[in-house]
Structure 1
Amino acid sequence: MIERILAKRIVPVVVLDSPESAEPLAEALLEGGLDIMEITFRTAAAEESIRRIAARFPEILLGAGTLLDDDQVSRAKEAGAVFGLAPGLNPRTVRKAADLGLQFSPGVMSPSEVEAALSLGCKLLKFFPAEAAGGTAMLKSLAGPYGHTGVKFIPTGGVTSSNLADYLKVPVVAAIGGSWMVDKQLVNGGHWQEITRLTREALAAAAAVR
């Protein structure tokens, strides 16, 4: 999973109000060159959306986000998610994901949380809320004592097309999590071509950082 995320360096964070939007959104992202997506468990449509995408587009590295308890972890795995994420670090949720064989990235924003995540075997971590938690300056500070462990971060929260390059220049950043290319209004309005355009633009910007 880490290798595929490192290859693209962008994880679109998707909030779906209707599972009917799931398949055309997946097509729009694939058309734009992106085969990774995170569908958040913030709406009732999440589970069915994951199920539909997993069945029709097995080539997509499909994640479930905002997994806050054991039940959501189980449902996400059963629906077809291959990795999970959370905004915070709940040891019980991490262990549940491990028991089910679901690769999991808990959210962290402090040294103590990084150490707790590492002790649970997690090395790909969500840094959330990225901008509010100190942005690139905080990530560089965390890299000092923890970079040698192999830990990598996916900063999410306040990451946009205008600052993604700053984040991707930080060596411990594997990828960024963003929602601008899959904005809720674009999805609900069925603006698939615009989503494809924004996706291509974001991937080009990420590739230019290398």
Structure 2
Amino acid sequence: MLPNMIDRILAKQIVPVVVLDDAEKAEPLAEALLAADLDIIEITFRTDAAEESIRRIAKRFPELLLGAGTLLDNDQVKRARDAGAVFGLAPGLNPKTIATAREVGLAFSPGVMTPSEVEQALSLDCKLLKFFPAEAAGGVKMLKSLAGPYAHTGVKFTPTGGITAGNLQDYLKLPVVAAIGGSWMVNPALIKDNNWSEITRLTREALDLAAQP
């Protein structure tokens, strides 16, 4: 990832992981996050509405650091980039997907959960890694163990999967953690109900927790 992009993620430490079933919800969701002073969003490529949602947000809110998540193949990488995403993420590590992301100019963060995967990512010059599924894979204890042999390489992790307002601070206390990925503040039920004020409130709460020493 580009240094300025990593700096923006480090500054906020929160990446909302969004599942959108309706592209009409994209713009109001972006507005709700910006109202909480969060200018980062990850739209997962798990739904038919993902590509159009990214396209709408990219056009209307160029100030947002817009990511596409769950990119599992080359076609999805290309479509995400064409729609306007500036960074991509995956739950696992696929060298072909990483290569395609580089070809199309999409900063990419592959997913890892073992030492071997971390080393493979480093060999591919990927240093901002998604740690997934965080809680199921050992959570904070596992990240502390990974930090021992790998922190000196400059690798940083974005743990995702099971992160909540109750445990985000435990992760962010670790020097190897750049940010956490979470979905509780952008719960699909809140999006479905157009409850933008609650999304803003929960996002502000998350940012406040992340900012505490």
TM-score per shorter chain, which class? Answer: over 0.9
Divergent runs of 4+, >3 A:
none
Aligned partner of residue 161 in structure 1, secondary structure: coil
Answering whether residue 148 of structure 2 is matched by residue 157 of structure 1, we say no
Answering whether residue 102 of structure 2 is matched by residue 86 of structure 1, we say no
Q: Distance in 2 between matches of 1:81 and 1:120?
A: 21
- For residue 65 of structure 2, what is the aligned residue in structure 1? 61
What is the TM-score normalised by the length of structure 1? 0.99
Give the AA of the match of 1:115: E
Alignment of 1:29-40 (within 5 A): 29-40=33-44
- For residue 142 of structure 2, what is the aligned residue in structure 1? 138
Q: Distance in 1 between matches of 2:205 and 2:169?
A: 12
Give the AA of the match of 2:46: R
Root-mean-square deviation (CA, aligned residues, Å) is 0.4
Q: Distance in 2 between matches of 1:24 and 1:18?
A: 11
Unaligned runs of 5+ in 2: none
* 1:19 counterpart (23, 47, 69): 23
What is the TM-score normalised by the length of structure 2? 0.98
Give the AA of the match of 2:33: L
Aligned partner of residue 2 in structure 1, secondary structure: helix
Q: Distance in 2 between matches of 1:203 and 1:83?
A: 21
Alignment of 1:62-141 (within 5 A): 62-141=66-145
Identity of aligned pairs, percent?
77
Instruction: Give 1:101 shift.
Output: 1.1
Unaligned runs of 5+ in 1: none
Question: How many pairs are equivalent?
Answer: 209
